[in-house]
Structure 1
Amino acid sequence: MMDLGVCLALALSAQTLSPVFEPVERFTLAWTHSIEKVRWEEDYAVERRDGKPVLLALKARVRGSAAGMEPPDDAVLRGGWYEYQPQTWSPKGLRLTRSAYTADYEWCVNGQCQPMANLLPSDGDITLLTPCTRPASGPATQ
């Protein structure tokens, strides 16, 4: 049983509701830009460092470019995707804006994707994604 993963919580209720624990060591977040209709994907890993869970940004890619969303200068075009290393190597967590007016994020593990709403329904605001360990019986440990 994997005890390392990510915790998902709705920002507005993060203090009152227990986060949802997803056991995972590698995952991809994917979405389609609401205006430009361009697909983005970001690969992450969760590792233990000095005994604590850490989120690592591994690679990102965007399917083309559009106004205001140009890939960084170091991006390489491969098979129609601009691939690059995100500048934030080890974010403490992600603040994912989820709106009822746009398609939800896709949560991908081992090449299988599903809407993030299958893991945690959106309240139309911010979802917090943080590296954590499986809770024993109380809240997850970050």
Structure 2
Amino acid sequence: MMLCLATGTKVLAFAVSTFTLSWTHSVQRTEWWERWEVTEAGIRPVEARVTSSGAGMEAPEGAVEEADGWHYVPHLPPQHQVFLGASGATVGGWTLCAGDSCQVVGATAGAPLALWSDKDCSHPPETRP
């Protein structure tokens, strides 16, 4: 399976089994980080960290505080698609790291970015938020 990312009219494909997403909260200016798995059933978050809490950034029940923030395991089933907002009003975009490369996506206002898994990224999500 491939990780697929739609950025407007462009679709990028990554041959990876895991990837990470990180971003900075627009109000609290604190980092949120997630590690995801790419499966045939969809993409699924398997680990997450938030550096501090406040303004919607509260660590969930069961989170463990470590030197770099609150760590926890998200309890979500595989997602068929995930949309990332691109308002342009935040500190920056989303940092997507797949394999040995990282790139910032959604740093400027625009259509939502879409993530999904597919054998060749030829079947983008049909439903937009």
Taking structure 2 as the reference length, what is the TM-score of the superposition? 0.80
> Does the alignment pair 1:94 with 2:82?
yes
Equivalent of 1:105 in 85, 89, 94: 94
Unaligned 5+ segments in structure 1 are: none
- Per-residue deviation, residues 4-44 of structure 1 (Å, max 9, x unmatched): 2211124xx5xxx4632222211100000011001000100
**3-state DSSP class of the match of 2:47?**
strand
Taking structure 1 as the reference length, what is the TM-score of the superposition? 0.74
**Partners of 2:16 and 2:99 within 8 A in 1:** no
Indicate the structure (1 or 2) with the bigger Cα radius of gyration. 1
Q: What percent identity do the matched residue pairs reach?
A: 28
Unaligned 5+ segments in structure 2 are: none
Q: Report which stretch shifted further, 18-27 or 29-38.
A: 18-27
> Does the alignment pair 1:19 with 2:11?
yes
Report deviation, 1:109: 3.1
- Per-residue deviation, residues 38-57 of structure 1 (Å, max 9, x unmatched): 10001001123xxxx52121
Amino acid at match of 1:114: Q
Kindly report the root-mean-square deviation, in angstroms, between the aligned alpha carbons of the 2 structures: 2.5
Amino acid at match of 1:100: G
C-alpha separation in 1, matches of 2:80 and 2:23: 21
| Count of residue correspondences | 124
